Structure 1
Amino acid sequence: MARMHKYVAVAALTTLLAGAPTMSYAVSQGEAAHGTDDRTVAAASEAARKAPTPRIVQPGEHVVAAPGFELWMTAEGKHWLEPSLPDYPQFRSVVDGNIDLTQPGVSIQAGGHEGRYYLSGLYYGGKGTASRVVVDTSTGKVHGKLIELPGKPGWGVWYAIADLPAGDTGEDFLRSVTVYDTKGCVYSELRLI
């Protein structure tokens, strides 16, 4: 019976992630399901193929996330400008030995300016293809974007912008940053609280 529940849960999750109609079948190993066909399998495969992937940028290509908030990448790491420090480019290295690209991880850099939080960081070491990033805050979830260099560098940059609630200094605002893969599984994660 437990095995049957496992198959139902997996089928329901696959259907949910694929965006297909909410109908599922439970089939024991080696048995055929009544009414299933190749369309169900094809729909799940198509959904995984259509999942977003990081934007590929060339080394040094600037990505403007918002006025005054720019990011760019080189083989050495992530570079960025924030509205509060427009004349001071910042840098986070991927080659200085402070991160292990073979283990899943996420870093975060955050700067506030005029009631907004400018968030970015590195993600690295996960299995599969990174697809999307979600930042959990004290006021809800913020969806960001991903960029990577061409090829398979083993790391990328995520970024997002969040409005700070009135009177919030940002101290307890950020809860976690999670990068998901194209199958909807966790690629890498950082828990802050």
Structure 2
Amino acid sequence: MTRIQKYVAVAAVAAALVGAPTVSYAAAQGTAAHGTVAHAPSARIAAPGEHVTGAPGFELWLTAEGKFWTTPWDAEPQFRSVVDGNIDLGRPGVSLQAEGDQGHYVLSGLYYGGKGTASRVAVRTSAGTVHGELLELAGRPGWGVWYATADVPVGEEGGFDAFRSVTVHDTRGRVYSQLKLN
């Protein structure tokens, strides 16, 4: 094979691997199942204003100004700004909005300012750890949104006291940003 043919062959195999689904999520952390390529999960990229369903009745959408969302309990859009000066995109941070009824919650928040590429989110609750999804606008705006659902015991504060921490990890497994609550 000529050198150009080898490069073309390598590029074709790489393109096929990037587009192929993997089963590495089922393997133990840091390892891949036999015969698969381990890829770190990444944020879903959304167009400005594109509605994403996080759970039945729970929708999120992003614009350059911030995060919008509706819940099954409140169809009126809510908003969290990333441009009003209330957050410092240059410092790692993550927020939490929890809305629910009788122990069932839809959770979401902003994440921003961490080093590396955000890859996954874990919410520690009194009932265990919940893993969520990440959503970002195209073009690397320096922030994104995470979302999840959780079922937790209803306590003295109606269940809100069940949330312990929100941790966003990067593609290398390091902490990108973290919020400690209880």
User: TM-score, normalised on structure 1?
Assistant: 0.74
Matches within 5 A, 1:32-181: 47=38, 50-86=39-75, 88-165=76-153, 169-181=158-170
The residue aligned with 1:33 is none
Which secondary structure does the structure 1 equivalent of 2:122 belong to?
A: strand
Which secondary structure does the structure 1 equivalent of 2:87 belong to?
A: coil
The residue aligned with 1:5 is none
Q: CA RMSD in A?
A: 1.8
Amino acid at match of 2:30: A
Which secondary structure does the structure 2 equivalent of 1:52 belong to?
A: coil
- Change in Cα spacing, 1:147 to 1:109, as seen in structure 2 (3 Å) is same
Q: Is the 8 A contact 1:17 1:184 kept in 2?
A: no
Deviation at 1:140, TM superposition (A): 0.4
Superposition misfits of 4+ residues, deviation over 6 angstroms: none
Task: Determine if the alignment matches structure 1 residue 183 to structure 2 residue 167.
Answer: no
Query: Which has the larger Rg?
Result: 1
Give CA-to-partner distance per residue, 1:97-135, whole Å, 9 cap, x none: 000000000011110135311100000000000000000
User: TM-score, normalised on structure 2?
Assistant: 0.78
Deviation at 1:66, TM superposition (A): 1.1
Which secondary structure does the structure 1 equivalent of 2:166 belong to?
A: strand
Deviation at 1:167, TM superposition (A): 5.8
CA distance, structure 1, for counterparts of residue 32 and residue 111 of structure 2: 30
Which secondary structure does the structure 1 equivalent of 2:115 belong to?
A: coil
Equivalenced residue count is 152
CA distance, structure 2, for counterparts of residue 20 and residue 161 of structure 1: 27
Q: What is the identity percentage for the equivalent residue pairs of Structure 1 and Structure 2?
A: 66
Matches within 5 A, 1:15-26: 17-19=29-31
- Change in Cα spacing, 1:166 to 1:150, as seen in structure 2 (3 Å) is same
